[in-house]
């Protein structure tokens, strides 16, 4: 996805070098919003993946805490039983835990669950306390509601992110909101291995870049995400960036359409 958006950056900078968007920011600042979107999207998708994984781990855990070794966080479940809800699940990464994906997480994630993750109607609300994803401080409220199984027997979740924000070491912030349907299509039977999970995403994401540029992305066709390696296998995104609209990223055909003209892209 990152390389795809870099391709868009090059095309738009070439064709719109002297354009101005509605808030007076130059085109380079507007296009910078796309690269920032890549970062903020990865952070919050990672939060969703890890929150679900930790809820499943809590359900199957034999003790209230995992060992505090180098590559693990401390997970606390209160109350620690199989039937009392709501539950508070706290994941404490301490001063930093390096994950298998190369990401260092530190600080605390707190999840309030009204039932177990696979139970239809269950709601899981995630918040953050001095939580960092590499060098980005993460804030906001992430809510996932289990909608039950679809016609293909895959679990679906309605995911909303409100007041989402990541802040870098230079104190520059990117704002982010999301409202999507997330369909779990692979990896459900291996709760201790998040890396084989695959999802479909349908819905919209909005935000404001560090330079004040508004952006929005809406799926024309569901995006197929894999975690390891992290990739988008298929789907179509419709992108609006300031006054620039109608940008189509087609991951199925590996094309980007700008101003009615399609360009191929590759890995």
Beta strand 261-264 with 198-208 is unpaired
Which residues fall within 8 angstroms of residue 235, CB to CB, at 6 or more apart? 200, 201, 219, 221, 222, 223, 224, 251, 252
As a whole number, mean pLDDT of residues 212-236 equals: 88
Q: What is the mean pLDDT of the chain?
A: 82
Ranges of beta strands (E only) in the chain are: 74-78, 87-92, 97-98, 104-113, 123-133, 136-149, 155-167, 173-186, 198-208, 214-227, 230-241, 244-250, 255-258, 261-264
Which residues fall within 8 angstroms of residue 145, CB to CB, at 6 or more apart? 121, 122, 123, 124, 157, 158, 159
Q: Does residue 265 carry a pLDDT above 90?
A: no
Show the tokens assigned to 66: 């995992």
Q: Which of 50-54, 62-66, 106-110, 240-244 has the highest mean pLDDT?
A: 106-110
Q: Does residue 262 carry a pLDDT above 60?
A: yes
Residue 187: closest CA among 47, 46, 56, 1: 56
Residue 155: closest CA among 79, 236, 232, 55: 55
> pLDDT > 70: what percent of the chain?
82
pLDDT higher for 114 or 212? 114
Question: Which range has the worst mean pLDDT, 61-70, 109-118, 177-186, 243-252?
Answer: 61-70
Q: Tell me: the pLDDT tens digits for 8-52?
A: 545 554 455 444 444 444 556 656 777 788 788 888 888 887 788
Q: Tell me: the pLDDT tens digits for 81-126?
A: 888 999 999 999 999 999 877 889 999 999 999 999 889 999 999 9
Q: Does residue 68 carry a pLDDT above 50?
A: no
Identify the helix (H) or strand (E) that includes residue 42.
helix 27-60
Query: Can you name the residues that pair with 219 across neighbouring β-strands?
Result: 237
Q: Tell me: the pLDDT tens digits for 166-200?
A: 999 999 999 999 999 999 999 877 766 777 889 99
């Amino acid at each position: 996805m990152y390389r795809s958006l870099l391709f868009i950056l090059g095309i738009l900078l070439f064709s719109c070098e002297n354009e101005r968007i509605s808030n007076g920011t130059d085109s380079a600042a507007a296009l910078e919003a796309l690269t920032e979107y890549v970062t903020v999207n990865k952070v919050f998708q990672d939060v969703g993946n890890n929150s679900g994984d930790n809820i499943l781990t809590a359900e199957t855990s034999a003790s209230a805490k995992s060992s505090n070794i180098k590559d693990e966080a401390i997970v606390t479940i209160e109350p620690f039983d199989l039937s009392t809800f709501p539950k508070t699940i706290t994941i404490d990464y301490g001063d930093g835990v390096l994950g298998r994906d190369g990401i260092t997480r530190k600080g605390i994630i707190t999840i309030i669950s009204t039932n177990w993750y696979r139970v239809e109607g269950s709601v899981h609300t995630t918040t953050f306390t001095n939580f960092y994803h590499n060098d980005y401080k993460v804030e906001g409220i992430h809510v996932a509601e289990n909608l039950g199984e679809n016609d293909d027997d895959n679990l679906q979740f309605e995911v909303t992110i409100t007041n989402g924000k990541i802040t870098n070491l230079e104190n520059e912030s990117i704002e982010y909101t999301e409202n999507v349907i997330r369909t779990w299509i692979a990896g459900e039977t291996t709760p201790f291995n998040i890396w084989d999970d695959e999802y479909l995403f349908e819905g919209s994401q909005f935000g404001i870049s560090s330079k004040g540029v508004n952006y929005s992305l809406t799926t024309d066709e569901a995006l197929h995400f894999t975690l390891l390696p992290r990739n988008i296998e298929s789907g179509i995104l419709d992108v609006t960036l300031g006054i620039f609209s109608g940008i189509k990223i087609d991951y199925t055909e590996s094309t980007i359409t700008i101003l009615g003209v399609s360009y191929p892209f590759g890995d």
